[in-house]
Structure 1
Amino acid sequence: MLKLLMVERRSVKAEAAEVAAEKKAAAAAELPPQPPPAANKTAKKGKQVAIVEGKRGGKVPSNVNLLLIFSELDDCFLRASESAHDVSKMLEANRLHYHSNFADNRGHIDHSARVMRVITWNRSFRGYLNTDDGMDDFDSEEHETHATVLDKMLAWEKKLYDEVKAGEQMKFEYQKKVASLNKLKKRNASTESIEKTKAALSHLHTRYIVDMQSMDSTVLEINRLRDEQLHPKLVALVDGMATMWATMRTHHENQSKIVIALKYLDISQSPEYTTDHHHERTLQLLAVVQDWQEQFERLMGQQKNYIKSLNNWLKLNLIPIDNNLKEKVSSPQRPQSPPIQSLLHAWHDSLEKIPEDIARTAISNFAGAVRTILQCQEEEMKLKDKCNDTQDLLTRKNQQFEDWYHKHMQRRTPPDGMDPEGPPEDELVAERRLVVETLQRRLEEEREAYNHQCIQVREKSLTSLKSRLPELFPALSYFASACSDMYGNLRSISQSHNLNGGS
C-alpha cells in the first residue's frame, strides 16, 4: 500500500539534489523525512536508529528519516504477503495484490530476490508438470485441488439433476400407464389389451428401479466427495487461514510500532514545493489505496458468499430424494450430520461477527487523506503555473518597455539649440512603466499565495501522516487479530470433530 510513497522518496531525492542547486529545495519526499521506526527496533545495517537524550531525560530517535520508516513498513507488507502463499496456492490464486516497487537498492538486503519469490511462487499450483507422466498426475485424488474438487462435485450434481429429471419424467409416464390400465379394467377391455398394458407398466417400473439405483450411486459419490475430499480441503483452508492471519497480525502490530516515530517528523525537512514527480506518485498512491479498498470489500464479500453458498448447498444435499413409485425402492440413507456441517455452520456464523468496519473505515480514512493531499498539491501546482505565466508576461512586457524606452529616448533627443519636448512624453513613459510595475506587484502577490500554499501542503501532508497512519495499522492489527482468533476457533472445531471420531 505504501510502496509508492517509498518509491517517491528514492526518486525525488535525486530530483531534489538538482533543485537544490538553484533554489535550495529540501529533498527526497512528498512529506517530511526524519525519525525511525519504533523504539527498541533495530534498523538495517547502515541505517541504524540513533537515540539521543531529550531535555526531560526521554529518549528521542534522531538521524533517521521518513524513507527509513517506509522501508520498514514495506518489509512488513512483503512478509505479510509471503504469509498468504499457502492459502493462495490452495485457492489457486493467479495474481498477487501486493508487490513492492521499492524492492531494490537496499544495501545488503537481497530485496529483489524476495520480491521475485512473491511474484513467481504460483507459476504452477503444483510446480512444473512431469512431461513423462503426461496428465496422469491429475487423475490421482491426492493431487486434487480445492477448485478441482468443486468442479468434480458440480459435474456429479449435474448428473444427479439429469437423473432426477429423467426419473420424474418416467414417474409421470408410469402414472399415465397406471391410469390407462385402470380405464381398461373399468371398460372391461380385452385380456390382451390389459396384459399388454401391464407388460409396458412392468417394463417402466423396472427401468425406474434401475435408474433410481444409478441415482443412488450418484448420491453416494457426491457424499463421498463431500466427506472425503471437500471437507478435508476446507479443514486445510481453515488451518492455512489461521496461520496466515496470525502472521499478518504480527506484521501489522510491528507496523503499528514503526509509525510511532512519525510524531518526531519535522516539517522543516520536507520539500519546499511539490514537483511533478511528487504529484504523479501521490496520484498513483491514491489509485493503489482505492484498489486496496475495493479488494478488501471483495475479500469479505466473497468469503461470506462462498460459505453461504456451501451452507445452502448442504441443506439441499441433506434432503432425501423421493425416489419411489407405488412400491418402495431401496435407497441409502444420508447421514443427517456429516462432518462438514458443524464446520460450515460455525464458519458462517463467525464471518457475520467479524469486525470488518473498523479496518474498512481506517482504509477509507487513509484514502481520504491521500485525496486531500492530492487536491492541495493540485492547487499548489495551479498557483505555480499562474506565477510562471505572470513571470513570462512580465518578462515580455519589461523587454517591450526597455526596447520602446530606448527607441523613445533616441527620438526625443532634440536637435542642437532646441528645447526638449515637454511633459506629455514623460507621462507616456510613466504610463508604460506603470504597466510593468503593476505586473511586478501582481507577480509578488501570486508568489506570496504560492509560497503560502506550499507551506499548507507540507503541513497538511505531515498532519495527515501523523494522524492517519497511526490509526490505520492498529485497525488492521485488530482486524487481523479477530480473523486469527476466528480461524483458530474453527480449527479447534474441526480438530475436536476428528478426535471424536467424526461423530
Structure 2
Amino acid sequence: MGCTASKVEQEDTVRRCKERRRHMKEAVASRQQLASAHADYLRSLRLTAAALSRFAQGHPSLAVSHHTAPVLLTTAAPALAPTPTPPPPSSTASSSLPPPTPLLPKHQQAPPPPPPTQSHQPPPPVAVRAPRGGPRRLKVPHILSDSSVASPARSSFRKPVVGTPSSSSAWDWENFYPPSPPDSEFFDRRKADLEEANRLRELEEEEKARGYLHPHHLKEEDEVDDDDDEREEEMHCGGWEDDDDHYASTTTSETRSEEGEMGNRSECGFAARSEYGGTAPSEYAAAPLPLPLRRRDERSEAGDSSSTVTAAAEMRMVIRHRTLAEIVAAIEEYFVKAAEAGNGVSELLEASRAQLDRNFRQLKKTVYHSNSLLSSLSSTWTSKPPLAVRYKLDTNALEMESMEGKSHGSTLERLLAWEKKLYQEVKARESVKIEHEKKLSTLQSLEYRGRDSTKLDKTKASINKLQSLIIVTSQAATTTSSAIVRVRDNELAPQLVELCFALLSMWRSMNHFHEIQNEIVQQVRGLVDNSMAESTSDLHRLATRDLEAAVSAWHSNFNRLIKYQRDYIRALYGWLKLTLFQVDSNIPQEAYTSLISRELTTFCDEWKQALDRLPDASASEAIKSFVNVVHVIYTKQAEEMKIKKRTETYSKELEKKTNSLRAIEKKYYQSYSMVGLGLPGSGRDGIESHSFDARDPLAEKKTEIAQCRRKVEDEMTRHAKAVEVTRSMTLNNIQTGLPGMFQAIAGFSGTVVEALDVVCRRAGSVR
C-alpha cells in the first residue's frame, strides 16, 4: 500500500497539483501578512511624524539662518490628467467672432497685481477655468505680436455675457459651443467697434509722435471713455511693462492686422481665457508672491502661425520656515497625507478591522441574557454580560454577498479550498488508474495461463468497477478545475489589476508628498543653535527615545511591506504558471490556457520582475542610518544626563558640608567667621576677653569643602562641555540625517511609480 501511495505522489499531475496547492497556500498567507505590513507601514508614518514633531518642539533654539534659501513647493495634485488644448484660432475664425463683452466700470475693477520684482523671467500668462458668472478677472501680461515687439503691455478686465455659451469665450468658442446666428445688432456694433478702433489708432499715433508710449484700450459697444479713463487703464497695466520682451508671442502680422480691424478685442483678455472659455480666477492675483508657472503648450514644428498658452498644471509657492519646529510641522502634514494615500490599498487588502467585520455579515449573532433574548445582526452589547453567544449562518446574506462581488481575500480563500479539493480528486484518480493498470496486468496473466475462470470473472468485474471510478474521479477533477479557471479569469484577474493600479496611485501620491518633504527638509542645512547652553531634560531624552523607536518601526515595516509584496506576487505567479498546464489529458489545452490566463500570467511575471528590481536596500539603509543618528543623539544625551546627575550629587554634598560648618560656627562661636578659634564664653564679656588660638580646629572641614567645591566646579565644566557637545551633535546629525533619509525615500517611491506604471500598461490586455 505504501508503494502505491509513493507511486501516486510521483505522478506529474499529482505533483503539479500539490505545487499549485502550496503556491496558493503561500499566496493566502502572504496576502494576510501584506495587509498587516501595509497597515503597520501607514501607522508608522503617522507615529514617525508625531515623534519627530515632539523631538523638534524640545529644541526651540534651533532656528533657520536668514541666509538659507526659501523652498519652492508645488501645490498641485500629484496625478493630474493633462487638459486637452484647443487648436489656435484661424484668420477666418477670428474675423467672424462675436463682439467682445463690455468693460467693467472703474469702481468694480480689482486692483492690479504687484509688478514682478525678481530678476528671472516673469511668468507666462495664466489660463485656468473660472466660474462663468464671476465678476472679477485677473490681469495678465499682454502677448505681443512679432510686428510690435516694442509695444507696451496691455490689459483689460472682462465681464462675460451670461446670455449664450458662445459669448463666454473670446477666441475658441466654435470648438466647444455652436455659435448662434448674428442679428442686425451685431453688425451695428461691429461697425461702431471699427470706428472706435480707428479713432484709438489715431490717438496712439499722436501719442507716439510726442514720444510717449501708451497702451491703447479696447472699447465695447456703446461705452466710450475719455482721456482720463484711458490713462487710468494704463496705470492698471503698467505693472507688466518691466519685462515686455518676455511676453512677446509668435502671432503673425496677419493676426495683428485682423486685430486692428477688431480693435475691441483685448489681447490681455485673450491670454487670460482658459481652454473652456473662462478666465483666470482672482485668487491667483491675491497670492502673496507672484510665482512662475510652466508653459505647457509650445509652438508646433510645422510652422503654426500662432502660439497657444495655457494654464500651468501646477502652482508653485515660496515657503520659508523659521525654526526646526516649523519645518517638522510641515513635514508632519505630508506624512499624514502620505498615510491617507494608502487607504485605497488597505480596503483592497482588507487591512482594517471594519473591513474584516464586513466579511461576517452572513453570520447572525444571537446573544442570550438572563432576562431576555436579543437577536441582532450588529455587535451592540447591553450593559449586562451575556450568558451565551451563538452564531448562525444567514444564507440570504451569502446570496447578497455573491451578487455584490467577492473581496480579494475571499477569492484567494476559495481558490485555496478548490486547490485542496482538486489535489485530493486528482490523487484519487491517479491511484484508481494505478490500481486499474494492476488489474489489467492480472487479467492478462490469467488469460494467458487459462486457469480458474472464477478468478478471471472477478478480475473483469473489478476492472469494470475501476473504470467507473476513473470516470467519476475524472469528472470531479474536471469540474473542480473548471471552477478554478472560472474564478481565476472572472474574479482574480480584475482584482489583481485593480490592486496594481491602487498601488500605483498610492506610490504616486506618496512620491509627490515625499518630494515635497525632501524640498522642505533641505532647510535644516541652514539651522543654527541660538542657545548652546540649554541643558537636556528628561522630556528631551524621552522624545529622542520615542523618535528612535518610531523610525526603527518605520524601517522594520518598510522592509516587511516590500518583502511580503514580493512573496505575494511570486506565489501568485508560481500558481498561475502551473494553472496553464492541463489536469486531465482528455481535455484540450485551450480550456486551461485562455487569453486572459496567458495575459494574467505575463502581467504577474512583469510585476514580479519589477518588484525584484526595486532598489529598496538603499531606502532601507537611509532609514536605518537615521535610526543610528538618533541613537547617537540619545547616547550623548544619556552621557550629559549622567554628568548632570553627578554634578547635582556633588553640589548637594558641598551644600551639606557648608551648612554643617556654618552650624558649628554659629553654635560655638556665635559667628560665621572662618578664621581663628574663640574660647567658650568669650563672646559676651567684651573685646578684652576675646582670645584666638594659633590653630584652626575646623581647617580639615574647610579643606574638605574646598576639595568638594573643586569637584563641583570640574563637574560643572564637564557638564557645560557635554551640553555643548550634545547640542552640536544634535544639530549636525539632524542636518545630515534628515535630508538623506527623505531624499532616499523620495527616490525609491519615484522608482516604484516608474516600475508599476510599466506593469499597469500591461494590464490593458488582462482587462
Question: 2:601 corresponds to which residue?
Answer: 341
Question: 2:336 corresponds to which residue?
Answer: 78
In the alignment, is residue 398 of structure 1 matched against residue 445 of structure 2? no
Q: TM-score, normalised by structure 2?
A: 0.53
Of 427, 433, 436 in structure 1, the residue corresponding to residue 705 of structure 2 is: 436
Question: 1:241 corresponds to which residue?
Answer: 503
Taking a change above 3 Å as real, the CA distance of residues 69 and 239 of structure 1, as seen in their structure-2 partners, is same
Question: 2:694 corresponds to which residue?
Answer: 423
Q: Tell me the distance in 2 between the aligned counterparts of 1:229 and 1:261.
A: 49
Question: 2:71 corresponds to which residue?
Answer: 39
Q: Tell me the distance in 2 between the aligned counterparts of 1:83 and 1:350.
A: 21
- Give the stretch that moved more between structures: 295-304 or 312-321: 312-321
Amino acid at match of 1:382: K
Of 343, 354, 369 in structure 1, the residue corresponding to residue 614 of structure 2 is: 354
Deviation of the 1:182 alpha carbon = 2.5
* Contact 2:533–2:724 (Cα < 8 Å) also in 1: no
CA RMSD in angstroms, aligned pairs only: 3.0
In the alignment, is residue 29 of structure 1 matched against residue 298 of structure 2? no
Taking a change above 3 Å as real, the CA distance of residues 38 and 495 of structure 1, as seen in their structure-2 partners, is farther
* Contact 2:474–2:584 (Cα < 8 Å) also in 1: no
Question: 1:212 corresponds to which residue?
Answer: 474
Question: 1:15 corresponds to which residue?
Answer: none
Amino acid at match of 2:656: R
Taking a change above 3 Å as real, the CA distance of residues 42 and 29 of structure 1, as seen in their structure-2 partners, is farther
Higher relative contact order (CA 8 A, sep 6+): 1
Taking a change above 3 Å as real, the CA distance of residues 267 and 138 of structure 1, as seen in their structure-2 partners, is farther
Taking a change above 3 Å as real, the CA distance of residues 354 and 273 of structure 1, as seen in their structure-2 partners, is same
Of 717, 727, 739 in structure 2, the residue corresponding to residue 448 of structure 1 is: 717
Deviation of the 1:134 alpha carbon = 5.8
Q: Report how many aligned residue pairs link the two structures.
A: 435
Deviation of the 1:9 alpha carbon = 4.6
Amino acid at match of 2:577: K
Amino acid at match of 2:542: E
Structure 2 residue runs of 5 or longer lacking an equivalent are 1-47, 76-287, 290-317, 363-375, 378-393, 671-676, 683-687
- SS of the residue corresponding to residue 321 of structure 1 reads coil
Question: 2:169 corresponds to which residue?
Answer: none
- SS of the residue corresponding to residue 62 of structure 2 reads coil
Higher helix share: 1
Taking a change above 3 Å as real, the CA distance of residues 133 and 272 of structure 1, as seen in their structure-2 partners, is farther
Of 643, 647, 653 in structure 2, the residue corresponding to residue 387 of structure 1 is: 647
In the alignment, is residue 487 of structure 1 matched against residue 745 of structure 2? no
Q: Tell me the distance in 1 between the aligned counterparts of 2:474 and 2:521.
A: 66
* Contact 1:33–1:266 (Cα < 8 Å) also in 2: yes
Of 461, 465, 471 in structure 1, the residue corresponding to residue 734 of structure 2 is: 465
- SS of the residue corresponding to residue 502 of structure 2 reads helix
Amino acid at match of 1:456: V
* Contact 2:525–2:735 (Cα < 8 Å) also in 1: yes
Question: 1:198 corresponds to which residue?
Answer: 460
Deviation of the 1:412 alpha carbon = 4.0
Amino acid at match of 2:53: M
* Contact 2:551–2:627 (Cα < 8 Å) also in 1: yes
In the alignment, is residue 413 of structure 1 matched against residue 679 of structure 2? yes
* Contact 1:92–1:125 (Cα < 8 Å) also in 2: no
* Contact 1:181–1:198 (Cα < 8 Å) also in 2: yes
Q: Deviations over 1:160-210 (max 9, x none)?
A: 011012112212322232233223223322334322321221121022112
Q: Tell me the distance in 1 between the aligned counterparts of 2:493 and 2:70.
A: 43
* Contact 2:644–2:719 (Cα < 8 Å) also in 1: yes
Q: Tell me the distance in 2 between the aligned counterparts of 1:75 and 1:124.
A: 30
Q: Deviations over 1:395-439 (max 9, x none)?
A: 111111112233453684256788846333x1x322211111111
Question: 2:89 corresponds to which residue?
Answer: none
Q: Tell me the distance in 2 between the aligned counterparts of 1:184 and 1:356.
A: 69
Amino acid at match of 1:366: F
- Give the stretch that moved more between structures: 221-230 or 476-485: 221-230
Q: Deviations over 1:77-105 (max 9, x none)?
A: 1111111111111011137xxxxxxxxxx
- SS of the residue corresponding to residue 71 of structure 2 reads coil
Deviation of the 1:458 alpha carbon = 1.0
Taking a change above 3 Å as real, the CA distance of residues 419 and 349 of structure 1, as seen in their structure-2 partners, is closer
Q: Tell me the distance in 1 between the aligned counterparts of 2:361 and 2:438.
A: 58
Question: 1:285 corresponds to which residue?
Answer: 547
* Contact 2:669–2:678 (Cα < 8 Å) also in 1: yes
- Between the two proteins, what is the percent identity of the paired residues? 28
Taking a change above 3 Å as real, the CA distance of residues 423 and 371 of structure 1, as seen in their structure-2 partners, is same
Of 240, 260, 275 in structure 1, the residue corresponding to residue 522 of structure 2 is: 260
Structure 1 residue runs of 5 or longer lacking an equivalent are 11-27, 44-49, 52-59, 96-120, 324-328, 499-503
Deviation of the 1:392 alpha carbon = 0.9
* Contact 1:89–1:125 (Cα < 8 Å) also in 2: no
The 5-angstrom pairing of residues 179-194 of structure 1 reads 179-194=441-456
Q: Tell me the distance in 2 between the aligned counterparts of 1:38 and 1:133.
A: 63
Q: Tell me the distance in 2 between the aligned counterparts of 1:133 and 1:192.
A: 54
Q: Tell me the distance in 2 between the aligned counterparts of 1:270 and 1:79.
A: 35
Of 139, 146, 161 in structure 1, the residue corresponding to residue 423 of structure 2 is: 161
Q: Tell me the distance in 2 between the aligned counterparts of 1:37 and 1:154.
A: 58
Question: 1:298 corresponds to which residue?
Answer: 560
Deviation of the 1:352 alpha carbon = 1.2
Q: Tell me the distance in 1 between the aligned counterparts of 2:61 and 2:740.
A: 18
Taking a change above 3 Å as real, the CA distance of residues 245 and 479 of structure 1, as seen in their structure-2 partners, is same
Deviation of the 1:264 alpha carbon = 2.8
Deviation of the 1:317 alpha carbon = 2.1
Q: Deviations over 1:20-73 (max 9, x none)?
A: xxxxxxxx4277244799524599xxxxxx99xxxxxxxx98772222111110
- SS of the residue corresponding to residue 259 of structure 1 reads helix
- SS of the residue corresponding to residue 266 of structure 1 reads strand
Q: Tell me the distance in 2 between the aligned counterparts of 1:62 and 1:478.
A: 24
Taking a change above 3 Å as real, the CA distance of residues 31 and 496 of structure 1, as seen in their structure-2 partners, is farther
Q: Tell me the distance in 1 between the aligned counterparts of 2:358 and 2:756.
A: 23
Q: Tell me the distance in 1 between the aligned counterparts of 2:713 and 2:319.
A: 40
Amino acid at match of 1:39: V
Deviation of the 1:320 alpha carbon = 2.8
Of 52, 71, 89 in structure 1, the residue corresponding to residue 347 of structure 2 is: 89
Amino acid at match of 2:332: D
Q: Tell me the distance in 1 between the aligned counterparts of 2:657 and 2:464.
A: 109
Amino acid at match of 1:298: R
- SS of the residue corresponding to residue 135 of structure 1 reads helix
Q: Tell me the distance in 1 between the aligned counterparts of 2:547 and 2:699.
A: 53
- Give the stretch that moved more between structures: 399-408 or 411-420: 411-420
* Contact 2:418–2:480 (Cα < 8 Å) also in 1: yes
* Contact 2:619–2:748 (Cα < 8 Å) also in 1: yes
* Contact 1:33–1:269 (Cα < 8 Å) also in 2: no
Q: Deviations over 1:263-319 (max 9, x none)?
A: 332201577011111111110111111111111110111111111111222233223
* Contact 1:283–1:374 (Cα < 8 Å) also in 2: yes
Taking a change above 3 Å as real, the CA distance of residues 331 and 206 of structure 1, as seen in their structure-2 partners, is farther
